[in-house]
Amino acid sequence: MITETREAFMDQVKVNEPEALLTIQGLHVWYELRRFGFGHAGYVKAVDGVSFELAEGETVAVVGESGCGKSSLMKTILGLNIPTSGDVLFDGDSLSGLKGDGLRNYRFKIGYVQQDPYGALPPFMTVQKILEEPLIISGVKDKEQRMARIHKVMGEVKMHPAEDFLPKFPHMLSGGQQQRVVIARAMLREPKLIVADEPVSMLDASVRVEILKLMRALQEAHGLSVIYITHDLSTVKYFSRRIFVMYAGTLIEKAETRRVLENPLHPYTTALLAATSDPDARNADTFKEVPPGEPPSLVNPPKGCRFHPRCAKAIAGLCDEKEPVEFEPESDHFVACWLYRS
């Protein structure tokens, strides 16, 4: 009797809470460094304690500079890296418990849009082969069924008539068309989540917006969750509901896009925003304020707050001693910075 009511209660709780599609709990991804091929020489702490939840149909941007660990985070979510500790829960599966076929099925459920479309497409395969192969691997044996699916995704990425493009090799396509093929490939298995790693940074300005709008249309039409990894803050607001700012392996600020852009809290986020230019002739008259130094080594990150050696507002005795915890100065706006201790 008691168990029954308890189960009913738990069901109730599940209905009320928004369903999280992806949950990341205390994720650490460390790579071991070896001296002379053996002998331990420390760790590269690429992801060092990252937690967040992503609801179904939600878009989030992970913003950070190269070497901040965003690619390691992404690869772990894709099931390509093994977490050192912590876990990734996706659609009911826990990544740490998966092996073999289970891991393969897990990967099928997540689409991956690479940064450099030309590098991501095998140059010796035609578009048709590129799109057919994932279907063959995932067990679609019937050729007609495969072709039907391929035509459908080609239509979705607005490459019609598909017949014109299917026999072509990647080098015969323009950068924008190559990226469409990459997106089509990511959409083939009807994923619930798309991880897009700087999907437009290699493209020309005039094509960039076209690809972003296409991804947005796909996201809305299929209710996809999207993790958009970028360093370009100016594109984020067209695409993502929330922003996570990453620095040296940790997420330092998490909030809705508009909030971060209008009222950045962390000094690093402020610096990123200040460094982003809009085309304006007046820019030439002023110098930009840039924090001194460079992002720290992930082998031996600074003690305390990892940004403190570059931070103008660092509090001596606190920021260089204790790692900041997450504060919530306004509701749903999280920041890991001692300035907001209450």
Partner 1 sequence: MNMPPRKLLQIEKLVLHFKTSHGVVQAVDSVNFELDTNRAVVILGESGCGKSSLAKAMLRLLPRNVDKYGGSVYLNGEDVMMYDEDEFRRNVRWVGMSLVPQAAMNSLNPVIRVGDQVAEPAMVHLGIRKTEAMTLVRRMFQHVGVPEDFISRYPFELSGGMRQRVALAMALVTSPSLILLDEPTSALDLLTQANIMNVLKRIKHELGTSFILITHDIATSSELADEVAVMYAGQIVEVGHAKDFFPAPLHPYAQMLMASVPRLRSESDPMFITGQPPSLIDLPEGCRFAARCPFRFEKCNEEPPMLGKNGRKVKCWLYE
Residues in contact with partner 1 by CB under 8 A are 65-66, 174-176, 204-210, 212-213, 231-235, 237-238, 261, 271-281, 283-284, 287-288, 290-291, 294
Identify which of residues 56 and 65 has a Cβ nearer to partner 1 in the complex: 65
CA 324 from centre of chain:
23
Identify which of residues 12 and 174 has a Cβ nearer to partner 1 in the complex: 174
Identify which of residues 135 and 200 has a Cβ nearer to partner 1 in the complex: 200
**Spatial CB neighbours of 3, under 8 Å, sequence gap ≥ 6:** none
Smallest distance from partner 1 to CB 42, Å:
18
Q: What is the distance between the alpha carbons of residues 121 and 163, in angstroms, rounded to a whole number?
A: 18
Smallest distance from partner 1 to CB 202, Å:
9
Smallest distance from partner 1 to CB 57, Å:
22
Identify which of residues 33 and 290 has a Cβ nearer to partner 1 in the complex: 290
Q: By the 8 A CB rule, do 266 and 253 touch?
A: yes
Identify which of residues 65 and 323 has a Cβ nearer to partner 1 in the complex: 65
Smallest distance from partner 1 to CB 208, Å:
7
Sequence-ordered strand ranges (E) for 12-103: 20-35, 38-55, 59-63, 85-90, 93-94
Q: What is the distance between the alpha carbons of residues 75 and 272, in angstroms, rounded to a whole number?
A: 24
Residue 284 buriedness (CB in 10 A; 0-12 / 13-18 / 19+): exposed
Q: 159-194 b/e with 16+ CB inside 10 Å = b?
A: beebeebbeeebeebebbbbbbbbbbbbbbbebbbb
Identify which of residues 88 and 243 has a Cβ nearer to partner 1 in the complex: 243
Q: Which of 50, 42, 88 is nearest to 69 (CA)?
A: 50
Smallest distance from partner 1 to CB 247, Å:
11
CA 215 from centre of chain:
14
Smallest distance from partner 1 to CB 79, Å:
27
